[in-house]
Structures are given as structure tokens and as C-alpha cells.
Amino acid sequence: MNKRYSISLLMLLVVLLTASLVPAGAQTSSVELPEYTGGPAEIRMGWWGNDDRAARTLAVIDLFEAAYPDISVVGEPNGGTADHFQIIDTQLAGNNAPDIIQFGGNWPDYQQYLEPLNSYLGEQLMINTPEQFDQTALVPATGVDGNLYAVSLGTNTLVLVYNKTLIEAAGVDLPADNLTWEELVEYGRTLKAALPEGVAPFVDNSMNQANYLSYFYTQQGTQLWTLDDGGKSYATVESAQAWLQMWADMRAEGLIPDAETTYTYTEDGPDSSALVAGEAAIGLIWSNQVAAYQAATTEELGVTTLPVGGEDSYVIQMSQYLGINNASANKEAAALFINFFVTSPEAGAILQTNRGVPSSPVVREAIAEQATVTDAAVYRIYGAIADRMIPQGPNLPNDQEFVNELELLGQQVAFGQLSVEQGAEELQALIERLAVK
């Protein structure tokens, strides 16, 4: 068996199913591809995600290898986000990291390992014109030195996903878009009275998603991190306490599962989701995950917006990026693969919105004709939040450490090891420590 396919049996089955996504007769991209000037080469690509993402990625690898027979690509799926970066950190330390690495908004934490991409633009990376690629997508991946360090795989935003089948069976109206926080909590109370015993209205998303916390802080006017004065946090202990108290109150009312149930589920994807497991009716996910969550359940799901309140804070952000390891011996081949991944309509037909809404207008046009009901629902969310969107800001420095510490702190508060007040002080101290690290 090819080592690229040394993954779970379930994923192997998904790979076979995903073959049906490849357009009939498609072996190479319908757009003109840049020429490869090197000899036979093998490159590696590391990413995070579930089996569905891995299957789609491997199918694109097959198409790329057909288009560039001299280049072999070894796919390395690394499970969940935390697992991925733990593996990547170890590989980078041992000078054995993949040629191509998937990042989130934390790519600046890895800039020292990344190849500047400016010299590849218009050559191997055909993303340098608005007809080929949204130029605004290049901005968040550009360092203060003016160099492009990563390529956006699409745009993404946070949404609330809900079990439509369950809520309708309970005889409750579906949640409306753009509810306030108070209206959402009140909706949860109505839902709790109608749901089956043991099913909570909401997943506990208090501390397992740093972007949700950042969204709330921005509404409060106390942004976690900005580029003001070369880098500045406006976070306050008052915002931390307001956030933690809101979730503590919901826990006390049974609007979210108890701590033991919550920490049975890591919420890294549908396989570890309290919502998919039937423990809760509404949860927070990224818009590019909606299709995977729907595929994981026989019940119909719906999506709605995050709550309204305070200052505008909704961000349509770059969902993920691909960067090139500056230690790679095959940088030209790596750049050609990234180009194929983000500009090929055939690749787009396979990837769809799995990593976000594509940044290539050509790819978007190609996949729009095939939009599923799920993808159409995501596009609707983009319209529903149009009047309260703000530009994407930077992640807090040492972002992955923040994510990890945030979850541990959330557990301590949920299990009563820390009071809300103590948790708020700890959270503020964490932010201040990472902001200057």
C-alpha cells in the first residue's frame, strides 16, 4: 500500500466515495498550468482535519500528480488542530517537517520557518491578479516586511449550527438570525422546556474556541489583540468576568451540559461533537464544517448567526492557509501544488467549501453550479451578517498556547476549581502574559 494511504480504514472508504466528486474525464486542470522546470521530486503536505477532508485532499493530490507526472505528493493528515501543531512543532524542531504545511491565523508564529512567496507570484503561483484570486486574501498572509508567507484556502466564519429535526420535533420555532445574547439565552430556556430529558439547548462553547471569546471581547470594545502601537491588547478582567458569568449562569440553568458531559467531547469536529452525539441542540462551528457535520448525522441541520450585541465584531476571515517550509528541497514543486490547490476548477469541485469559500473567482464560479443545500445555507449567513462585518484582525501572539490554556482554564471554572472571579483574573493574566511573550 502506498504510504500516502496509511490512514484509517474508514478514510479509505471515504476516498473511494470521493472519487465520484472528480469531474468525468478530468485528469488535468482546465486552466493553463505553470510549467515545472525541475526533475522528479517528492513533496510532503501536512494538514489537520477529519476523514472527509483527508479524502478530498488526497483526491486533489491524484489530479495534481496526473497534471505533473514528475512530482509525487505524500499526504500527511494529522487529526485535530492541536494534534497537527504538536506534530508540526516536533517536526520543525527535528528539521523533518513537510514541504507544505497547513496553518490557521497563527501562521505568524511560524514565520521564521516559512518561505517568502513574492518571487513565485505570476510564475508558479498564479494568484497575483484579481481575476485569478481575491487580492484582499493576500493581505492577512503578508508580514510586516511586505513578504507574502502563505496562501489563503478560502474564507470562513463562525456560525451556530442547530439540529433542525430535533427542534421541530420539540415544537419550537427555529432560531432566528441576529438574535441578541439575551434573546438567544431566552430562546434556550424555551427550548429546554420542550427538549427530551438529557438534551441541553446549547453546547458549552465557553472556552473551547478562542475566536468566540475574541468575538465577544470585540463587542465589548476590549479587543484581545490589535496592531495598535506595534501590538496592543485592550482586554479587561471585566470582559472576562462577563463572559465566564454568562456561561456559568447557563450551566446552572441546565442550558448547557454539565462539566462531565462537556469534557467528554473535544468539539474538534463532528466525531467529537456533543451536538452530533445528541447531547445538545445548538453549537458553535466554522462555516466550512457545516457539510461535514451534516454528513455525520441523519438528522437535518440548520445554521444561524452569532448573537448581536455591542460593537460590530463579525469577521469573515481567511479560514486556513498553505505555506512552504523554507527548508524544503523542492520549493518550486511545492508552489505549483499550492497553485493547483487554490486555482484549479477541478480541484475546487472536489474541495468545495471544506476549507472555506474559495478565494479564486474562477473556482467559485465553477462550484456555484454544484452548490448543495448546505453550502447555500452558508452563503445565506454571509448575507445575514453583511452589515456588521469588520476587517479580520491579528490573532493573539502565541495563539496555539492561548487555545490550549483557555480550554484548561474553562475546565477549572466548569468543575468549580476556580470561581468565576478567579477564572476572570486568570484569563486576564494569561492574555497579558502571551501578549508580551
pLDDT recorded at residue 437 = 57
Q: How far apart are CA 284 and CA 306, in angstroms?
A: 8
Residues 305-318 have a mean pLDDT of: 93
pLDDT for 6 beyond 50: no
Q: How far apart are CA 218 and CA 234, in angstroms?
A: 9
Q: How far apart are CA 5 and CA 51, in angstroms?
A: 12
214-245 pLDDT, tens digit per residue, is: 999 999 999 999 989 989 999 999 999 999 99
pLDDT for 275 beyond 90: yes
Residues 328-337 have a mean pLDDT of: 98
pLDDT for 132 beyond 60: yes
Residues 264-293 have a mean pLDDT of: 94
26: helix, coil or strand? coil
pLDDT recorded at residue 14 = 37
Pairing assessment for the beta strands 200-202 and 280-286 based on DSSP bridges: parallel
pLDDT recorded at residue 45 = 98
Q: How far apart are CA 166 and CA 269, in angstroms?
A: 20
pLDDT recorded at residue 223 = 96
Q: Are 148 and 338 in contact (CB under 8 A)?
A: no
Most confident of 182-196, 281-295, 349-363: 182-196
Confidence of residue 324 (pLDDT cuts 50, 70, 90): very high
- Select from 199, 190, 196 the least CA-distant residue to 256: 199
Torsion angle of C-alpha atoms 60, 64, 70, 75, degrees rounded to 10: -20
Residues 53-60 have a mean pLDDT of: 96
Mean pLDDT score of the chain: 90
Residues 286-304 have a mean pLDDT of: 94
DSSP 283: E
Residues 204-222 have a mean pLDDT of: 96
Q: How far apart are CA 87 and CA 110, in angstroms?
A: 14
C-alpha of 12 from chain center: 23
Of how many residues is the chain composed? 437
pLDDT recorded at residue 23 = 38
Pairing assessment for the beta strands 100-103 and 151-152 based on DSSP bridges: unpaired
